[in-house]
Every structure is written in structure tokens, then in C-alpha cells.
């Protein structure tokens, strides 16, 4: 038994939980990629959210949840991958985004080669997830296939050292580690995290180290960097 997982999380008033600032709104649920560490697939099965997680489903009624008096930041791919959205789903979400310019909308994908998007909406941010050195070319593929105003990159969970990254055009970098207790879990190493953070900061890119890096004992509180793009107005 992993006794470490039974220990209570250490509290800190200095650490920001990213979900307190960015709201997960799962407009689409489902993804056929099949990542070993996928929490969304497990949650879908546990709570019987959809019949088959491999077949993404669009929950159009959730678009009404976007309407709010105060500006908000939404992650719309917390339980899906943008590359597997149907074109009409994307169109409807973009139309809603255009009608709510005060909000900011984030998207993530692991398959940027499947995307063909062009938009001039200033409140859409497109990103890729990178988990190892072999996947860092996803950043260039994203910028090639998605013509947009804003790009970001998330590095989690990391299975090895990514090495040198071309961050040209990237406006935000998020760093994290694998959570949970699944078989084959590979925690991020401090040197991997610091290496990526140093490169991003050298390019004047804000870096956000997710709270789990602190809770897992990988990055001490005094070294946690948690910055958002100025466009988020946080």
C-alpha cells in the first residue's frame, strides 16, 4: 500500500489551486486516445456519465453556464480532446465565445495534427499537452494547424526530461505531475520541472506550477511559481 497517499495534504495559504481560478466546463465528454493516467475516463465509468468514453458526446445545454455577470476563465477540454470534437460542436462553442468576449476559453489537445482551425477571436487560447521529449513537436504542429491569437502549453504528467523547447509564440506554460495511485505512475522530477520553467521564464513567458507539485513534495513552497498571463486579469 502507498502509505504516502494516505497522508493529508499540507495546507498552505501561499499555494493557489488552478481550479480556483479556471473553471472546468465539460462541454464535451469522451476521448478515444486512451491515456493510461486518464482521470476523466475513470470518473466517467465510476459515475456513469456517458455510455462509452471512447465516443465523445456534446452537451450543448451546458453552453448556458457560460453566461455570467463577471468575467470568467473556462477550460473546455477537461474531459475531452479538442481534436476529437465534431466541427459543428466547435462552431457552436466559438459562436458562444464570440458572444461573450469578457470570458476567456482554454482548449487542450494531444493530437494537434488532427486540427484545422483559423480564428481571430481574442478570447480563445489553444494549447497542447506534452508528457515527454518525443512529444514536444506538438507545439510546432499546433501553431501550424491552428491559426489563432493565443497559444499555451501544458507539461504533465512528465515521464522523462523534455529538454530544450522552442517556446516561440507560447504565452503561458503550465507544469504538473501525475496524481492518483494508478499502476506505473511516474512522478515528475524537480530537475525536469525547473528546466522547463527556466526556459519559459527566459522567454518572458508566465509559468504556473500546479499545486500537486507542492503537495507531492517535488517543489518546495518557496520555489513554487504560479503566474497567469496578464490577459487573464487575475
pLDDT digits (tens, 9 = 90+) for 8-45: 445 566 899 999 999 999 999 999 999 888 888 888 88
> How is the chain classified by DSSP, letter by letter?
--GGGGSPPPP-TTPPPGGGTSEE--SEEB-SS--TT-HHHHHHHHHT-SS-TTS-EE-GGGGGGG--SS--EEES-TTB-GGGS-HHHHHHHHHHHHH-TTSEEEEEES-GGG--EE---TTEEEEEEE-SGGGTTHHHHHHHHEE-SEEEEEE-S-SS-------TTEEEEEE----S--TT--PPPHHHHHHHHHHHHHTT--EEE-HHHHHTTSS-GGG--B---GGG--
Q: What per-residue confidence (pLDDT) applies to 46?
A: 86
Task: Compare 86 and 8 and report the one with higher pLDDT.
Answer: 86
* Sequence-distant (≥ 6) Cβ neighbours of residue 93 within 8 angstroms: 27, 63, 76, 105
Task: Compare 182 and 99 and report the one with higher pLDDT.
Answer: 99
Judged by phi (left if over 0) then psi (alpha if -120 to 50, else beta), residue 97 lies in alpha
- Please state the rounded mean pLDDT for residues 44-55: 91
For residue 207, name the pLDDT band (cuts at 50, 70, 90): very high
Cα Rg of the chain (Å, integer)? 17
Q: What per-residue confidence (pLDDT) applies to 6?
A: 40
The pLDDT tens digits for 95-129 are 999 999 999 999 999 999 999 999 999 999 999 99
Q: What per-residue confidence (pLDDT) applies to 1?
A: 35
Is pLDDT at 88 greater than 60 in this prediction? yes
Q: Rounded CA gap, 116 and 126, in Å?
A: 12
- Please state the rounded mean pLDDT for residues 70-94: 97
Q: What per-residue confidence (pLDDT) applies to 20?
A: 96
Amino acid at each position: 500500500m502507498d502509505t504516502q497517499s494516505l497522508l493529508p495534504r499540507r495546507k498552505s495559504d501561499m499555494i493557489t489551486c488552478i481550479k480556483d481560478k479556471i473553471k472546468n466546463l465539460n462541454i464535451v465528454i469522451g476521448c478515444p486516445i486512451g491515456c493510461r493516467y486518464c482521470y476523466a475516463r475513470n470518473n466517467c465509468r465510476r459515475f456513469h456519465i456517458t455510455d462509452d468514453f471512447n465516443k465523445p458526446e456534446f452537451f450543448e445545454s451546458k453552453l448556458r453556464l457560460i453566461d455570467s455577470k463577471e468575467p470568467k476563465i473556462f477550460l473546455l477540454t477537461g474531459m475531452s480532446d479538442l481534436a476529437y470534437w465534431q466541427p459543428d460542436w466547435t462552431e457552436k462553442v466559438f459562436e458562444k465565445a464570440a458572444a461573450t468576449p469578457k470570458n476567456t476559453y482554454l482548449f487542450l489537445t494531444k493530437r494537434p495534427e488532427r486540427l484545422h482551425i483559423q480564428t481571430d477571436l481574442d478570447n480563445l487560447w489553444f494549447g497542447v499537452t506534452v508528457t515527454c521529449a518525443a512529444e514536444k513537436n506538438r507545439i510546432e504542429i499546433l501553431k501550424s494547424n491552428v491559426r489563432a491569437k493565443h497559444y499555451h502549453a501544458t507539461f504533465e504528467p512528465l515521464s522523462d526530461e523534455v529538454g530544450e523547447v522552442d517556446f516561440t509564440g507560447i504565452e503561458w506554460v503550465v507544469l504538473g505531475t501525475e496524481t492518483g495511485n494508478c499502476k506505473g505512475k511516474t512522478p515528475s522530477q524537480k530537475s525536469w520541472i525547473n528546466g522547463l520553467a527556466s526556459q519559459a521564464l527566459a522567454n518572458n513567458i508566465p509559468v504556473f506550477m500546479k499545486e500537486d507539485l507542492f503537495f507531492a513534495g517535488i517543489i518546495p513552497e518557496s520555489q513554487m511559481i504560479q503566474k497567469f498571463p496578464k490577459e487573464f486579469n487575475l
